[in-house]
Amino acid sequence: MNLDKIPEVDMLLVTKSARLHRRAVLGFVPRIGLPIVDYADVDRIDAFYLQCQEYRDYYRDPYDRVHKPLKFTQHMGKCGIKLDTTVDELRQPINWVPRRQPLIAPIDYQSYMNLGVPMGEIFRGKYSKQSCIRYKR
């Protein structure tokens, strides 16, 4: 059985070539002067799409060689909404904290299983020659 290593993708080269192919989006809407089309808004949406694709490439890179787009390093949302820092927290090394073990008191198991009667008396009554039919002939 041949165990070949699975080749890894060089995300830096893939990102560079993908940027060239994604540039075709910028010229997709022809500028024919329609009054109902806001061409500045179309350009803004296309630029945001390209930055989203670069952000996706950033998260696909396992070695962190692709930089995060500037649009996604700043918080542009409403006030009071906190940034999602879970990815940065997951990349941090684990902080090991020893947990305190609970105090365990030894349990006093008694031979009569808390029935109130010692097991010797129970066995004596169950298997005695006077009460048990097993010994009678």
Per-residue pLDDT of the chain (137 residues; tens, 9 = 90+): 566 777 777 888 888 888 888 888 888 888 888 888 889 888 988 988 998 999 989 888 888 888 888 888 776 666 656 666 677 777 777 777 777 888 888 776 665 555 666 666 666 655 566 665 665 55
Residue type at 109 in one-letter notation: Y
pLDDT at residue 127, rounded to an integer: 58
The domain segmentation of the chain, as residue ranges, is: 11-76
Six-digit token string for 43: 């350009």
Within 13 Å and on the Cβ side, how many CA atoms surround 127? Answer: 6
- Dist. CA 11–CA 7, nearest whole Å: 12
pLDDT at residue 104, rounded to an integer: 81
Contact 57, 18 (CB under 8 A): yes
Nearest to 46 by CA among 58, 29, 33, 32: 29
pLDDT at residue 10, rounded to an integer: 82
pLDDT at residue 92, rounded to an integer: 77
pLDDT at residue 35, rounded to an integer: 86
